Structure 1
Amino acid sequence: MIRIKARAPTARGAVLPTLWGAAAVGYKFGCPLAQQDGLGARIVTSAVFFAVGTGLIFHVRRALLRELRLARRAARAAQNVVLRPLPPRLDEIDVAAAQLSADRGASVGGDLYEAIATEHGVRVVMGDVRGHGLAALGTVAALLGSFREAAHDEPELGSVLRRLDRALARHLRERARAEHPANGAADPDNPVAEEFVTLLLLEIDRDGELRALNCGHPWPYLLSGTTAELLSCTDPLPPLGPFPLPAELESLPCRRLLPGESLVLFTDGAEDARDSRGRFFSLPHVLREVVHDHPVSPQTVLRMVFGALLHHTGGRPTDDIAVLVLRNGRKEAQLSGARSGSTARARSARHPWPTTRH
């Protein structure tokens, strides 16, 4: 569990309030003017106590702001450790990602993403934990830790999803015991029992073939040429947490991500963002403007999308927002070579022993 502990007040910080209080008490009982009942004396006494009270308020406010800055700094450090920056390139796939938290006090969100180059291809996860803040960050840490191991260990994408489901269930059980040690189990009235995570798993092979498993998460947008279309592969599964996974989990091929094409993964905070009039943010409209007016690099897409989001919400989003852009940076010749290699490996698997002519 991640905790941010405020520092205890020091003796040095209490010196100034003590001096102000001593000055006020000394004036009240030691100054002859304070003993008089005239209007002028009362005005002076009130001014003295008002000045002392105002000074104390400003001192307390300054101390609280200092503690808040320390808490924000610690939260950002925790966020950067859990949601680490992605490399700009993974196995010829250009990558760019960023997250915008609705919790402006601590800059901590409940969105998660990761992209890893493995022997099975580039594997990507994008998810959204219910809620935000430090409790959601703990769930993010549990899921990302499991994904970073399972992405390398499991040959099938369905097995990766099962590992994530077990990690989430274990994390929620431990959190429920920590919050309700007397019960020893999850309380139905406890928010932990209602925790769920929407999740999207993607796998990009060397030949650009896409496989996906979706647990209640928005499908990504495909940027191809000057078009931006929603990529929907299969019927999504329920979110992780409330319901068990089906017995059969098979990731089906969606399509091929051709050279120069991009995928834009996002959390629902992007499309649910509203302006002052209550109008929703139009992500596909912004993406079409991006591919029409600019070279489609992941950094360009990310910059334009977040700029439009902040302008639409007036700089105050009400939900966590994460965007991850993947672009196939391979050239056509490399892709053809990868396809030939895949075909040769498939033939070798079907005919492991060489034939001899007589």
Structure 2
Amino acid sequence: MFRIKARVPPKVLAMGLPVVWGAMAITYKLACPLAQEDGFGARVVTSAVFFAVGTGLIMHVRQALLRELRQVRKVAGAAQSALLRPLPARIDGLNVAAAQLSADRSACVGGDLYEVVATEHGVRAVMGDVRGHGIAAMGTVAALLGSFREAVHDEPDLGQVLRRLERALARHLRERARDEHPASGLEPDTPVAEEFVTVLLLEIGRDGEITALNCGHPWPYLLTDAGVEPLARTDPLPPLGPFPLPPDLTPLPCGSLLPGDSLVLYTDGVEDARDARGRFFSLKAALIEVVRNHPITPQSILRTLFAALLRHTRGRPADDMALLVLRNDRTRVHCDSLGARGTARPATGNPQPTNHL
């Protein structure tokens, strides 16, 4: 004999208990003689029965909502991990570590993006910040990262990579505008005009030479034996979205990343973080403290900075925050490309950073 077990759908089980409670309350009211009496004791018992049924229903609905919220967080977290996939600990001689902290507690996702890819043109990195945060920003992050991961291999010029990102963003916003207003059937003239993305593109050559294109993003900090300084001080281009890119997109030379030096890329949520008194977080001061501690690794930089940020905001950041650290641990560079910063320095220590805090 074989027994066939029928699987009851979860929705049927979820509705079963409320239906049973409701049936019991109605049966009590219609069939129980005590419920028909008008005495004080009978009224107390009837009120207690309906109060217990109502409380049970409320608790059941609350538990169902909590289960649904946990499922949404789980799905959102998996989507975020697929978009911001863990970076390798080492990419073409550079030690790498990155992490992101979302301000959206309900979904655990944010609008920050980063990626590092080794190509025949050098190591190329992107750091960006989509307007807004949460699940709504994930589509824009996916469009830009997908375009970047293809363009860095196809385009020898960094300016063409940026133009590919601009086209990907415009295409994504047009599609989103059509989805939000499908009834017109017309191509939107200004798709989601208020949307924008700040983007920083970096290219690090085999000799450590750095070139960059910046569209409205904060410049990263360069950590050397001499101290902590911004990678560049020039004004960036406007963010992607509101305005078209200029015809000339010549990458900006930004010096060299010598062995032992580190680059710290970040989104504006880091320096915009405020404490209870409204004071902004000083990233440069925090990095100066990091430089005083040796050995310096990307992992230790991330741990120190995120710990300081959480203390500063009391664990309640108002905006998404992302950090990406690149450290040059190559043993040899071409001396003719070092410029005014002198001869190459040997790599110090043997750090083994990871991408987890």
TM value normalised by structure 2: 0.88
Q: Give the Cα separation in 2 of the matches to 1:101 and 1:309.
A: 13
Q: Deviation digits for residues 219-259 of structure 1, max 9, x if unmatched? A: 00111126222221533100001101111110121111111
Q: Give the Cα separation in 1 of the matches to 2:335 and 2:244.
A: 41
Q: Give the Cα separation in 2 of the matches to 1:282 and 1:339.
A: 33
Structure 1 residues 294 and 53, CA, compared in 2 at 3 Å: closer, same or farther?
Answer: farther
Give the structure 2 partner of residue 74 of structure 1: 75
Give the structure 2 partner of residue 210 of structure 1: 210
Q: How many residues align?
A: 329
Give the structure 2 partner of residue 86 of structure 1: 87
Q: How does 1:101-112 map to 2 (within 5 A)?
A: 101-112=102-113
| Shift of residue 65, structure 1, vs aligned partner | 0.9
Q: Give the Cα separation in 2 of the matches to 1:279 and 1:41.
A: 63
Q: Deviation digits for residues 310-336 of structure 1, max 9, x if unmatched? A: 1211212111111000001112xx114
| Shift of residue 295, structure 1, vs aligned partner | 1.9
Q: Give the Cα separation in 2 of the matches to 1:255 and 1:337.
A: 13
| Shift of residue 104, structure 1, vs aligned partner | 1.1
Q: How does 1:186-335 map to 2 (within 5 A)?
A: 186=188, 192-225=192-225, 227-232=227-232, 234-331=234-331, 334-335=332-333
**Contact 1:91/1:122 (<8 A) preserved:** yes
Q: Secondary structure at the match of 2:247?
A: coil
Give the structure 2 partner of residue 142 of structure 1: 143
| Shift of residue 205, structure 1, vs aligned partner | 0.5
Q: Give the Cα separation in 1 of the matches to 2:249 and 2:12.
A: 61
Q: Give the Cα separation in 1 of the matches to 2:63 and 2:221.
A: 46
Show structure 1 runs of 5+ residues with no match.
1-7, 341-358
| Shift of residue 159, structure 1, vs aligned partner | 0.9
| Shift of residue 13, structure 1, vs aligned partner | 1.2
Q: Which amino acid aligns with 1:193?
A: A
Give the structure 2 partner of residue 185 of structure 1: 187
**Contact 2:128/2:197 (<8 A) preserved:** yes
Q: How does 1:43-192 map to 2 (within 5 A)?
A: 43-183=44-184, 184-186=186-188, 192=192
Q: Give the Cα separation in 2 of the matches to 1:314 and 1:142.
A: 33
Answer with 123-132 or 274-283: which moved more. Answer: 274-283
Q: Which amino acid aligns with 1:119?
A: E
**Contact 1:187/1:193 (<8 A) preserved:** no
| Shift of residue 11, structure 1, vs aligned partner | 1.2
Q: Secondary structure at the match of 2:11?
A: coil
**Contact 1:126/1:201 (<8 A) preserved:** yes
Q: Secondary structure at the match of 1:295?
A: coil
| Shift of residue 22, structure 1, vs aligned partner | 1.2
Q: Give the Cα separation in 2 of the matches to 1:54 and 1:226.
A: 66
Q: Give the Cα separation in 2 of the matches to 1:13 and 1:301.
A: 48
| Shift of residue 33, structure 1, vs aligned partner | 2.0
Q: Give the Cα separation in 2 of the matches to 1:286 and 1:277.
A: 18
| Shift of residue 39, structure 1, vs aligned partner | 2.2
Q: Give the Cα separation in 2 of the matches to 1:301 and 1:132.
A: 25
**Contact 2:209/2:337 (<8 A) preserved:** no
Q: Give the Cα separation in 2 of the matches to 1:284 and 1:42.
A: 70
Structure number with higher helix proportion: 1
Q: Secondary structure at the match of 1:213?
A: strand
Indicate the RMSD between aligned Cα atoms, in angstroms: 1.8
Q: Deviation digits for residues 136-194 of structure 1, max 9, x if unmatched? A: 11011111111111101111111111111111111111111111123323376x7x221
**Contact 1:100/1:322 (<8 A) preserved:** yes
Q: Which amino acid aligns with 1:142?
A: A
Identity of aligned residues (%): 70
| Shift of residue 93, structure 1, vs aligned partner | 0.5
Structure 1 residues 313 and 187, CA, compared in 2 at 3 Å: closer, same or farther?
Answer: farther
Give the structure 2 partner of residue 17 of structure 1: 18
Give the structure 2 partner of residue 345 of structure 1: none
**Contact 2:223/2:229 (<8 A) preserved:** yes
Answer with 10-19 or 207-216: which moved more. Answer: 10-19
Q: Give the Cα separation in 2 of the matches to 1:134 and 1:148.
A: 21
Q: Deviation digits for residues 9-31 of structure 1, max 9, x if unmatched? A: 61111111111111111222222
Q: Secondary structure at the match of 1:223?
A: strand
Structure 1 residues 117 and 59, CA, compared in 2 at 3 Å: closer, same or farther?
Answer: same
Q: Give the Cα separation in 2 of the matches to 1:290 and 1:155.
A: 35
Q: Larger relative CO (CA 8 A, sep 6+): 1 or 2?
A: 2
- The structure 1 segments of at least 4 consecutive aligned residues displaced by more than 4 Å after TM superposition are 337-340
Q: How does 1:336-355 map to 2 (within 5 A)?
A: 336=334
Q: Give the Cα separation in 1 of the matches to 2:141 and 2:129.
A: 9
Structure 1 residues 185 and 194, CA, compared in 2 at 3 Å: closer, same or farther?
Answer: farther
Q: Secondary structure at the match of 1:193?
A: coil
Answer with 262-271 or 280-289: which moved more. Answer: 280-289
Q: Give the Cα separation in 2 of the matches to 1:260 and 1:196.
A: 35
Q: Give the Cα separation in 2 of the matches to 1:297 and 1:20.
A: 60
